[in-house]
Every structure is written in C-alpha cells, then in structure tokens.
C-alpha cells in the first residue's frame, strides 16, 4: 500500500517536515510505502479554468501537478500538510491542489485523506477546514485523530517540543493505516459503492 504526502511548506526541513516524519515512522512500521513531495518553494501557478484537462486528462501546465496526479492515481491515501499563512494554507499549495483535484481525472473515492497544519500560534482550525474540503468533495474518507490535526512550532525544530501535537499526528497515521487496510478488505469482500449518475443544479435559472 502507498501514501502520497504533500508538504506545502517552502522549508523542506522545517516544522511541517517534522510532523510528517512522525507520521512516516508509523507508515514504515506498518509496511506502508510513502512518497513525500515538497512543493512549497516551487513555481506552481493556479488554475485558469481552461478545461483543457477534461479533453486531455492532464493539466495544460506540465509541472509538478501532473507528476503528482500520476502518483495519486496509484496511492491508497493522501496526506496534505501546510504551515499557516494569515489563517490559510500556503498559496502555492492551494494553487497545486486546485489543479490536482480538478485535472487528475481519476476516481479518488475511498482513498483515505488527512490534513496536517502547523503554526506558531493561531489560524490552525481555519486552515485545517480549508484543506479537508478537497477530500470531502471527492468521496474520500477523512481520517481523524484525537484532536484536530495541528502542531505548534515557530522556529525550526520547535514542533518536536509539541508533545501533544506529535501524539495527534502519530495517532492520525495509525488511524489512516487501519482505514486503508479496512477499505482494501472491504473492496475484496463487498466491492466499492456504486456511484449513481450525478445530478448537478445551478442557483441561476
């Protein structure tokens, strides 16, 4: 089994990376393969609503987003992590996620999702909610822990001092492992839920 991990911090070895390493230890112990992709310092532009991806199956901008799409198709789980900027996730990360989820073209239902947010002090809950919306619009079960998935740390390395935060992400990883393995067993025994023809409505008549 495999988990794709997106690190949205521009500091690949910062506090976000520390939280993700705590999760990765759990995945390795459970023989879950991980692939960490750091994009916070990449030059990734936002979606331009050209809908080219609906014809070609890939985003018109051939950058890290298309690479991530290929990995996501094969993954059983997805972790998205970001530092908090003005009560929101890293802008580069959001640009990448908008394009990834819209252009991926693969069925994301029953891939387990989890978000992790890191901040010196505030804005964690709003960023946590922001990232979870990508999962809940895509039919992805959202893994939870025993508090909201947040870790405190400002200066490099401080996240390791947040013992509760590290506990939260460690248990998050354990719950993800259980969910992914349970879903795999469910697929064998019962198959995936059938998806009805989608009905869409507009607020403008």
Say how many domains are in the chain: 1
What pTM does this model have? 0.95
Q: Output the pLDDT for position 205.
A: 61
pLDDT of residue 105: 85
Q: Does residue 152 form part of some domain? A: yes
Q: Cα Rg for the chain, rounded, in angstroms?
A: 17
Angle between helices 15-29 and 163-190 (to 10 degrees): 40
CA–CA separation, 153 and 174 (whole Å):
23
Report the distance separating Cα 89 and Cα 8, nearest Å.
8
Which range marks the domain in which residue 14 is found? 2-190
Residue 198 lies in a domain: no
Which phi and psi angles does 183 have, rounded to 5°?
Answer: -65, -40
- Rounded Cα gap, residues 1 and 26, in angstroms: 13
For the domain that residue 26 is a member of, what is the CATH number?
3.40.50.360
Provide block-wise average pLDDT over 10 residues at a time, the chain (205 residues).
97 95 98 96 96 94 95 97 97 97 92 98 97 97 97 96 98 98 95 88 80
* Other CB atoms within 10 A of residue 1 CB: 17
Residues ≥6 apart with Cβ < 8 Å to 51: none
In a domain, 159, yes or no: yes
121 located within any domain:
yes
């Amino acid at each position: 089994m495999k988990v794709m991990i997106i690190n949205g911090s521009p500091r690949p070895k910062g506090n976000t990376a520390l939280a993700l390493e705590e999760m990765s230890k759990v995945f390795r112990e459970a023989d879950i393969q991980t692939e960490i992709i750091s994009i916070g310092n990449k030059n990734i532009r936002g979606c331009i609503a050209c809908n080219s991806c609906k014809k070609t199956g890939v985003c018109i901008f051939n950058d890290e987003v298309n690479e991530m799409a290929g990995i996501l198709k094969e993954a059983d789980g997805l972790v998205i992590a970001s530092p908090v900027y003005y009560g929101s996730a890293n802008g580069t990360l959001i640009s990448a996620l908008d394009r990834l989820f819209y252009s991926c073209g693969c069925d994301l239902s029953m891939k387990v999702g989890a978000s992790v947010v890191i901040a010196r002090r505030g804005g964690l809950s709003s960023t946590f909610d922001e990232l979870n919306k990508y999962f809940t619009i895509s039919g992805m079960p959202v893994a939870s822990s025993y508090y909201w998935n947040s870790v405190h740390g400002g200066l490099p390395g401080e996240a390791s001092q947040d013992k509760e935060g590290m506990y939260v992400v460690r248990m998050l990883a354990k719950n993800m492992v259980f969910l992914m393995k349970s879903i795999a067993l469910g697929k064998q025994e019962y198959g995936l839920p059938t998806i009805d023809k989608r009905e869409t409505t507009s607020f403008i008549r």
